[in-house]
Amino acid sequence: MQKPIPSNRPNSSVSKTLACGLEKIVVVSGKSGNEPLSVPVLADRSDPLGLKSVQPDPVPMESVEAGTKDVSEVMEVDEMSGDKGKRDEMGKEKVKSGGMEEEEESEGSESELLGEGGFGDLELNPSLRAGNKMIEKEDKGKPYLIAQVRGDGVIAARMKLFWDFPELVFVPFSLFDNAQPIEIGDTFRLHKCEWTKSETGWEERGDWLYEVTGRLNYQATATDVSRLRQRLPTRAVGILVDVQRARDRHVKVALVSAPELSCVMRAYRRHFPAEFTETDIRYRSVVRLQLRQINSPPSVLYSQQFAYVLPSDFGKKRGDELLIHHANVIAGVEPEPMGYEFPFSAELTWAKVKLGEKVMAAAVAAQAFDVKADLRKHTLFVEPVVINEISTRSVVIQFVMPVPSIEELTELCKIWEIDLAVGCKVNPVAKAKPCAHGYVLSIDKRALCVGYEIDVKVILSYQEAKDQDAQEEFDQMRCGELDGCVELIPQTSVRALQERMFTLRSNDCSKLAKDEGKVGRIMSILLGRPVKPESPKANNPLMTFGALSKLKEGQVDTALCMLDEVPRLVFQQAGPGTGKTFSAASIVATILATDHTARVLALAPPNVAVVKLVLEMQDALAAGKHVEPMLALFSGTGKLRYAKEVERISPHLLATAVEAQDFQELLQKDQDRVKVERYLDACERNPRLAQEMAVAKIVQEHKNRRLCFATLSFCEQLPALFGETTHLIIDEAGQAPYVQILYLVSQLPCLTKVLITGDRRQLRVHLPSLPIAIREDFGMDTVIQNLDVAQGTDVTTLSVCFRSHSALVRCTEAGFYKPHGELLTPGRDDSERALMTDQTAFKLPKKGAPLILVHQSTPAQRDEVSTSSANPGQTDTAMRALWRLARAFPGTLIRCICFYAAQALEIERLVAQQEIPDILVTTADATQGHESSLAVVVTTCSVLDSGADSQPFWADAARVDVAISRASHGMIIIGDLLLLNRTETWRRYLDQATTETTVVGPEYFDFEQFNNPDNYYDKDGQLISANGGAVRSEHFYGKYGKNMWYNNSGESRGAENRYQPYLPQGGTRERTRGKAPTSAARR
């Protein structure tokens, strides 16, 4: 007789076995309460009942009936076995005990389980038979996904549609017999449950989710479960980007970023070990994570706000959940034992450098998650009006949307701005794709009696979508037949960030640094590895070639490093106007003329700096009498925003290159011809839609250019396009993030030289656009801080300013370079920068001094539709100054620089209204990389918070340095100089500036005084008015140097004053019109 098959049910037993021909029946007792189970196994279809071989006497009939009476008898079938010929009894025990399993559970259909191997390896005795009664399949339960973990149990979500089972069920921890902690994403089988008896059908108040607490509700409580499934954990490195504590300071939740996660996820106190104390769980800590992957179901919905997961096709959802495929979830958080250090230095071990790469990857992940979150947050559902039907495939839509507060309006307009790429979804189904794509044409902001509104115009073009009738959807919108809203989705690519993240997570940079090749040495220097420096030869015959003969001092040192045979990473520290771009261009021109295998890639973060590189390269090549085709690449948006600057280098643009007849003859493929034709057409009609990267790839394949220019972000999108680069030049490196340079160098395998040039005292990476937690110490700031500590970096310094008048240079040096022990000396004779001092249209406050300081303490006012500010009094003074200058000099020589965007917009509007031609008006941040013969700087600010922890942005040393170092021949600074003098940055500058010139008031620009021929200079060069009095600001000199607290009326004032007028720092902001906020609002 065959052995009975054992069951893993606690009370299972074998009752009887009856042989009936060539079939058998195995009856196994189980838990009470289950239905009887009968299974026919037919061996002979001609005699299905096996009557020919029935022997009635040996076995009593009651033994046969025993196989169908007992409702507790269940057959256990092991569907997880991979071998159908054997039974894995231990597999059953492992599932029941909650052990960790690596393989995914199969959720087959009932027909698969019964008819096609569902019984798997069950061995049936062919001699058993039980008449014509069928054995039913065993109750294996229904699959559930643990959606949320509570203090006393879990809430689980139904993974498939079973009408007689609850959608959400509560499972007490006591039902699980497992050693590992239970986490969201684990799965189990539900056998029995007790339904709630409330009127709503939910156990707790509310619907399926109680949004006040974020707790999932449930319809039943489980009483019998089995087969708890938990994936094997993997390890990762993460950063705590936020830690939220209760009033008693215990940790409520920590937000964790890691490259292995799909978003910033929540970790609770249960995830931290007991030895990880409350004080050890700190903001910006580096931690080691234990992660579990959810493979069943393969796609889930994850709520960042409430930390629950649901199957992707779950019947209930809030709508803001993220759809994640094979999601990793946090199972544990431990302290990182090795310790993270930054910036990298020669003392660090390789293990710490590799850890540093992974930490930086986690920071880049946080940046990418933040970008995605902003795009989701500012996706708009609007009712559009078609205002212009361009064609059957293109329309212009308009919508108006109310915005409750100034803060929300400001955040919205950071994303929704002119040229923003937009996708349009008409179909409300979550998986539907946009039926049209386009970009924002205009945005108007208006203040209402209550709140605000934006008026937006968007151009949209039909976009085909696979498995979707996108044309019909687009036509419904075009013809105004839509009943509801459309979804407008802002689109910004994060692919470059993801590639950067994957490279760092995989330790590709440290692997490359261990290589003994040329690029390996360069990467070792970037990672701070101990690299033995090698001094360049002092006498290089190439130094007499072309423009190199014009180089001075530090410029010569840079050239010597770049022209020898040693692989080098050179950092050229260069103050304003010291010729860093000229020296780089001269070096490149020499390399191209003397090394025919060289391939040079010149990059800079801002577009205008790229244009300046190209212009300098033109002059350097001409000086060396060398002809070299150049290729300058820009995004469509860049070409539009900086059209005037880009037009200056039109002979070197991609469109010019592909228009050439010789290039057209090289095109062999029709597909390439079509791409080029479409590109040229787009450049004429709509540069935003021109496929610059695709056509640049065709150019490089057919006619490889040895000298290319682009922005850093453009190059990072397609680094393979420049894979043959041997010499890399990076200008304005202060704005180049360290992690971006690491990634870029790792993608250029042929590198032999890298020249990074910039000024550590000027504007750096725009950190406010990043999450606060990762702004420092994670490689997101400028590469310069890492080059300063790397032993193998060849550092050269340019300290001679060839741009500005000597008086302007001395003020800049005193304010920003001398405090750090650095020099900035004049390199031009004053006669070469005498445009302001030699003119006769008006008299300067001090003879021979091209600097005019205007003290004006009029109050600033906040802009109605932004958090920026403007100062009406200073606006009036600036316009009078611009008008006077425009009467004496061409407008192309004049630039107005404002610290506040609202101030710049107001002055720009007035300049256009009064038809003062060719004067540029920009913000200080948009001025780096530019220079101008004459500059008018407007500071706007009128109040300062004496109790603030940090300097206001208008006193940021890097920003002020940029603003006041653009002028070459002369400059006018308008502001409340006594207020500015209360900040360290401006105090150092004004200490020197007040010795160079005399401070005047706004009345200096009055026509009677400005043009009075009777004004004269005394023996000290001081301007004296016709009535005998000194032309100067008595209000300023009456208080300057006395360290007095004052307000605009001359009275003392306290700490309630703020950096920005009417905009308190912290707390609730109160919007007011025409008056300052109340004291309560200030507090």
SS3 per residue for 258-306:
CCCCCCCEEECHHHCCCCCCCCCCCCCCEEEEEEEECCCCCEEEECCCC
789, pLDDT greater than 80: yes
| Summary mean pLDDT of the chain | 84
Euclidean distance between CA atoms 44 and 414, whole angstroms? 77
> Which whole number is the average pLDDT over 837-849?
93
Quote the pLDDT of residue 947: 53
Handedness of CA 523, 527, 533, 536 (dihedral sign): positive
Kindly give the residue spans of alpha helices, DSSP state H, lying in 484-553. Answer: 495-505, 508-513, 518-526
For residue 801, pLDDT beyond 90 = yes
- The percent of residues in the chain predicted with pLDDT above 70, rounded, is 83
950 class by beta-carbon count within 10 Å (0-12 exposed, 13-18 middle, 19+ buried): exposed
Question: What's the pLDDT score for residue 169?
Answer: 97
Q: What is the mean pLDDT of residues 234-260?
A: 95
DSSP letters along 332-388, please? EEEE-SS---SS--TTS-HHHHHHHHHHHHHHHHHHHHHHHHHHHHT-EEE--EEEE
Composition of the chain by helix, strand, coil, percent to 5: 30, 25, 45
Per the listing, tokens 């004296």 go with 1024
CB burial readout 437-457, b (16+ within 10 A) else e: bbbbeebebeeeeeebebebb
- Tokens at residue 38, please? 């009968």
Candidate from 125-139, 248-262, 425-439, 528-542 with smallest mean pLDDT: 125-139
Question: Which range (95-99, 315-319, 722-726, 848-852) has the least confidence?
Answer: 95-99
Is 709's pLDDT higher than 90? yes
pLDDT tens digits, one per residue of 173-219: 999 987 789 999 999 999 999 999 998 999 988 899 998 889 999 99
Q: Which amino acid is at 340?
A: Y
Structure confidence at residue 965 (pLDDT): 96
Mean pLDDT over 731-741 rounds to 96
Six-digit token pair at 623? 């000086």
The values of phi and psi at residue 146, to 5°, are -70, 115
pLDDT for position 668:
77
CATH 2.40.10 positions along the chain are: 384-484
pLDDT at 146: 97
In 3D, which of 995, 931, 942, 939 has the Cα closest to residue 965?
931
Decide: helix, strand or coil at residue 206: coil
Strands 794-798 and 568-574, by their bridges, are parallel
216 contacts 168 by C-beta, under 8 angstroms: yes
Specify the pLDDT at position 945: 62
* CATH class held by domain 234-337: mainly beta
Checking if the pLDDT of 317 tops 60, the result is yes
- Give CB contacts under 8 A, 24+ apart, made by 461-466: 461/393, 461/394, 461/436, 461/437, 462/393, 462/394, 462/435, 462/436, 463/423, 463/434, 463/435, 463/436, 463/437, 465/432, 465/433, 465/434, 465/435, 466/433
Give the span between the Cα atoms of 227 and 99, in whole angstroms: 9
- Name the DSSP letter for residue 652: G
Which tens digits make up the pLDDT trace of 927-969? 988 899 999 999 999 887 655 556 788 999 999 999 999 999 9
Determine the 3-state secondary structure of 931 from DSSP: coil
- Could you tell me which residue, 715 or 466, shows the higher pLDDT? 715
Chain-centroid distance of CA 485 in Å reads: 29
Looking at residues 551-570, what average pLDDT do you find? 94
Q: Is the pLDDT of residue 233 over 80?
A: yes
Mind listing the pLDDT tens digit for each residue in 6-55?
433 344 333 333 334 444 444 433 444 444 444 444 445 445 444 444 44
Q: Is the pLDDT of residue 141 over 70?
A: yes
Strand locations in 771-881, DSSP E?
794-798, 800-801, 825-826, 851-855, 861-862, 869-870
Cα torsion at 623, 625, 631, 637 (round to 10°)?
A: 30
Per residue in 162-183, pLDDT tens? 889 999 999 999 999 877 899 9
pLDDT of residue 377: 93
The answer to whether the bond into 541 is cis (omega within 30° of 0) is no
Predicted local confidence at residue 1081, as pLDDT: 35
- Residue 17 pLDDT: 39
Which part of the chain has CATH 3.40.50.300?
Answer: 835-1039
The CA-CA-CA angle for residues 841, 844, 847, to 5°, reads 115
Assigned CATH topology for domain 384-484: Thrombin, subunit H (2.40.10)
Instruction: Work out the widest C-alpha separation in the chain, in whole angstroms.
Output: 143
Indicate the fold that domain 835-1039 takes in CATH: Rossmann fold (3.40.50)
Residue 866 has pLDDT above 80, yes or no: yes
Burial of 982 (0-12, 13-18, 19+ CB in 10 A): middle
In DSSP terms, 795 is beta-bridged to: 571
Distances (CA, A) of 55 to 4, 58, 378, 692, 866: 22, 7, 80, 88, 97
Handedness of CA 736, 740, 742, 747 (dihedral sign): negative
Q: What's the Cα-to-Cα distance from 930 to each of 649, 708, 811, rounded to whole Å?
A: 16, 21, 19
Q: Residue 950 has what pLDDT?
A: 65
Instruction: Please name the residue that has the structure tokens 């085709």.
Output: 629
Under the banding of pLDDT at 50, 70 and 90, the label for residue 138 is low
Lowest model confidence (mean pLDDT) among 60-69, 325-334, 342-351: 60-69
Among 567, 464, 589, which residue's Cα sits nearest to residue 520?
567
Question: Which run of H or E residues covers position 696?
Answer: helix 692-702
Question: What is this structure's pTM?
Answer: 0.82
With beta carbons less than 8 A apart as the criterion, state whether 1004 and 854 touch.
yes
Q: What pLDDT score does 28 carry? A: 38
Degrees, nearest 5: CA angle 722-727-732: 90
Over 90: is that where the pLDDT of 325 sits? yes
Does the pLDDT at position 399 exceed 80? yes
Task: Tell whether the model's pLDDT for residue 1070 goes beyond 80.
Answer: no
Distances (CA, A) of 433 to 174, 424, 469, 689: 45, 8, 10, 20
Other C-beta atoms lying within 10 Å of the C-beta of residue 790? 23
Answer yes or no: are the C-beta atoms of 318 and 358 closer than 8 Å: no
Q: Is residue 1032 scored above 60 in pLDDT?
A: yes
Residue 243 pLDDT more than 60?
A: yes
- Mean pLDDT, to the nearest integer, of 844-860? 96
Would the CA dihedral through 234, 235, 239, 242 be positive or negative?
A: positive
Band of pLDDT at residue 721, cut at 50, 70 and 90: very high
What's the pLDDT at 967?
97
More confident call, 50 vs 286: 286
Looking at residues 670-684, what average pLDDT do you find? 88
**CA-to-CA distance for 695 and 657, rounded, in angstroms?**
10
Between 1007 and 204, the higher pLDDT residue: 204
pLDDT at site 934: 98
- Non-local (6+) Cβ contacts of 704 within 8 A are 599, 724
pLDDT tens-digit readout, 511-524: 999 988 999 999 99
Residue 188's nearest CA partner among 141, 230, 228, 161 is 228
pLDDT at position 1027 = 86
> What is the arithmetic mean of pLDDT over 695-721?
92
Mean pLDDT of 922-931: 90
Residue 541 has pLDDT above 60, yes or no: yes
What is the C-alpha separation between 1081 and 1083, in angstroms, rounded? Answer: 5
As a whole number of angstroms, the distance between CA 273 and CA 107 comes to 35
Residues of the chain with CATH 2.40.50.140: 234-337
Smallest CA-to-CA distance from 187 within 30, 34, 329 is with 329
Percentage of the chain beyond pLDDT 90 is 65
